[in-house]
């Protein structure tokens, strides 16, 4: 059986409204939405649409969410895969899967390819390889570079890739005409955390008058993913205590639990 390499979504509902904070990153990536919505507007004047952008930042800060929102805003198909999936592949398969992916994305263009954890495949070549450039990961990386160079600027496929280790990436990936733009996606500050709470509190049945700023102040260093976790955990804690609405104490208990989990680097399952 053929392992599934990439995921294709044609009707993405995620938009910038789902991405709290990250104003700078949203502003920068808005340009890519414009290119995808109306490529001719740019190419008619002789401009070349960028082929790729790298989303750089710590885990759980919304890189995947932001990439998906670009597809939702532009109403284009979203092809996604994880760099670590390549690494698990059998010899010779990684490169052909990359070809496959680009072929399909081109057929459905304008479209987005999103590569999560690109560092798994995009680490600098020849570092752990004394025999010199003949391993599967390098073949896959070379194929990725070939594909990005090969499709013309009018193919209307934009490749977004995420990493928290831009420093280990092969410099060839960052060359002009490849991932030549970097967009930073940082941990949220206290104001942004309040906005992220607002998004993830919305679907919960909760008491009136919960103070977002208070919650934001209780969660220094939390990522958006951690905050989403807190909100879900708070609802479970409230339910376990047979409450009909999630209250402030449930959130504080959830924060404690997440902090405990972060300290142990090991999530507690109840």
Q: What CA–CA distance (Å, rounded) separates 124 from 178?
A: 15
Name the residue nearer to ligand ATP (CB basis): 29 or 49.
29
CB of 133 to ligand ATP, least distance (A): 28
Name the residue nearer to ligand ATP (CB basis): 93 or 201.
201
CB of 253 to ligand ATP, least distance (A): 20
Name the residue nearer to ligand ATP (CB basis): 49 or 86.
86
Question: Which residue is at the shortest CB distance from ligand ATP?
Answer: 224
Name the residue nearer to ligand ATP (CB basis): 59 or 260.
59
CB of 116 to ligand ATP, least distance (A): 5
> What region does 163 belong to: left with phi over 0, alpha with psi -120 to 50, or beta?
beta
Name the residue nearer to ligand ATP (CB basis): 74 or 93.
74
CB of 5 to ligand ATP, least distance (A): 18
Q: How many angstroms separate the most distant Cα atoms in the chain?
A: 65
Name the residue nearer to ligand ATP (CB basis): 49 or 193.
193
Q: What CA–CA distance (Å, rounded) separates 156 from 84?
A: 26
Strand extents, DSSP E, the chain? 7-9, 52-56, 78-82, 111-116, 157-163, 181-184
ω into 33 cis (within 30 of 0): no
Q: What CA–CA distance (Å, rounded) separates 173 from 124?
A: 9
Q: What CA–CA distance (Å, rounded) separates 42 from 33?
A: 12
Tokens, residue 237: 């804690």
Kindly report the backbone phi and psi dihedral angles of residue 55, in degrees, each rounded to the nearest multiple of 5, phi listed first. Answer: -95, 115
Residues binding ligand ATP (CB under 6 A): 19-22, 59-65, 116, 162, 164, 196, 199, 224-225, 228
CB of 185 to ligand ATP, least distance (A): 6
Name the residue nearer to ligand ATP (CB basis): 27 or 100.
27
CB of 59 to ligand ATP, least distance (A): 4
CB of 146 to ligand ATP, least distance (A): 26
Q: What CA–CA distance (Å, rounded) separates 15 from 74?
A: 9
Give 206's strand partners. Answer: 246
Residues 6+ away with beta carbon under 8 Å from 166: 54, 56, 182
Q: Are 121 and 140 in contact (CB under 8 A)?
A: yes
Query: How is residue 208 annotated by DSSP?
Result: T
């Amino acid at each position: 059986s053929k392992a599934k390499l990439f995921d294709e979504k044609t009707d993405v509902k995620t938009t910038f409204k789902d991405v709290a904070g990250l104003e700078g990153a949203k502003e920068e990536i808005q340009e890519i939405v414009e290119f995808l919505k109306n490529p001719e507007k740019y190419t008619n004047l002789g401009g070349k649409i960028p082929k790729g952008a790298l989303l750089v930042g710590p885990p759980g800060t919304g890189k995947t969410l932001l990439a998906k929102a670009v597809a939702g805003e532009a109403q284009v198909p979203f092809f996604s895969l994880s760099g670590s999936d390549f690494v698990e592949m059998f010899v010779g398969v990684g490169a052909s899967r990359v070809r496959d992916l680009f072929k399909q994305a081109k057929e459905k263009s304008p479209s987005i390819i999103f590569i999560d954890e690109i560092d798994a495949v995009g680490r600098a070549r020849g570092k752990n390889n004394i025999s010199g450039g003949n391993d599967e990961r390098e073949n896959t990386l070379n194929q990725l570079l070939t594909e990005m160079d090969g499709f013309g600027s009018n193919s209307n496929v934009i490749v977004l890739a995420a990493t928290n280790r831009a420093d280990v990436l092969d410099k060839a990936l960052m060359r002009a005409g490849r991932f030549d733009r970097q967009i930073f996606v940082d941990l949220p500050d206290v104001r942004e955390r309040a906005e992220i709470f607002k998004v993830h509190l919305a679907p919960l049945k909760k008491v009136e008058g919960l103070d977002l700023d208070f919650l934001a102040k209780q969660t220094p260093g939390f990522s958006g993913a951690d905050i989403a976790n807190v909100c879900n955990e708070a609802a479970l804690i409230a339910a376990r205590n047979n409450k009909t609405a999630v209250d402030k104490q449930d959130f504080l208990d959830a924060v404690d639990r997440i902090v405990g989990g972060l300290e142990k680097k090991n999530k507690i399952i109840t």
